Amino acid sequence: MDDPKIIITERLILRSMKQSDLQWYHALGTDEEIMKYIRPVNFDISKSQQEMDKILSFNKKHRFKGYWIACGKEDMNPLGILTLRFLQGSMATELGYRWSRQSWGRGYATEAANAMVEFGFSHQELPRMVAVVHPENLGSQKVLLKCGFNYKRKGFYYNHKVDFFEIQREAFLKGLKANPID
C-alpha cells in the first residue's frame, strides 16, 4: 500500500494511531498488569491526551517511524500498540510494543514485531534495530528472540534497569537465528 503507516500481516492490520484511539489507548494505560513493566498506570485522561498529542505529532513528523495500532483483521478491534522510535538518548531505532490482555498468548506480538522489523529493514534500510525490556518481562524477551533479536547487555533506559536487545539488518536478511539470553 502507498501509506507507509499501514502494514498487513496474516491476522493483523497495523495502522497509524488516530485521535479516535484515545479511549482505547487510555484504557490500556490504566491496566496495571499491562503497564507492570513499562511505567506507572495513568488514570488521568488529560495525561493520556497529552501523550496522544505527542504521538500524533511524532507520526506526522516521521514518515517511517511512529506509533501503530495493531487491529485484528476480522473485526478491526485494537489489540496492541507498536512503535519504531529513537531509543532514549540515541539515534538507534527502537522497537516497542504493548498489548491488551485479550491478545496475550496468541502470537500477535511476534507476528506484529516481525512485520515491524521487516518494515524497518526493507523500507528504511536501517542498519540495526534495538529493543529494551524489563528483566522480568519474559514474554517480551521471548518475542524479541523469536524475531531474531540478540540479547546484548544490561542497560538503563526510561528510568529502569533493562535488558538490551539488538538485531542487525544483515543477520535478519540472512535469516540468522538469535542467541538466547545467558
Residue 130's identity, in one-letter code, is V
CA distance 144 to 181: 11
The alpha carbon of residue 164 and the mean position of all alpha carbons in its chain are separated, in whole angstroms, by: 14
CA distance 23 to 151: 35
Identify the band that residue 32 occupies on the pLDDT scale cut at 50, 70 and 90.
confident
Confidence at residue 151, expressed as pLDDT on a 0 to 100 scale: 95
Range picked from 57-66, 85-94, 154-163 for highest mean pLDDT: 154-163
What strand order describes the sheet that includes 160-168?
6-8, 12-16, 66-72, 78-86, 93-99, 128-133, 160-168, 150-157
State pLDDT tens for residues 166-176.
999 988 888 75
Q: Among all chains, which residue has been given the C-alpha cell 519504531?
A: 84
Structural domains for the chain: 6-174 (3.40.630.30)
What 3-state class would DSSP assign to 45? helix
User: For 57-72, what is the mean pLDDT?
Assistant: 85
Q: CA–CA distance from 96 to each of 68, 70, 89, 110, 148 (Å)? A: 10, 13, 15, 12, 15
User: For 139-160, what is the mean pLDDT?
Assistant: 93
On the question of pLDDT at 3 being above 60, the answer is no
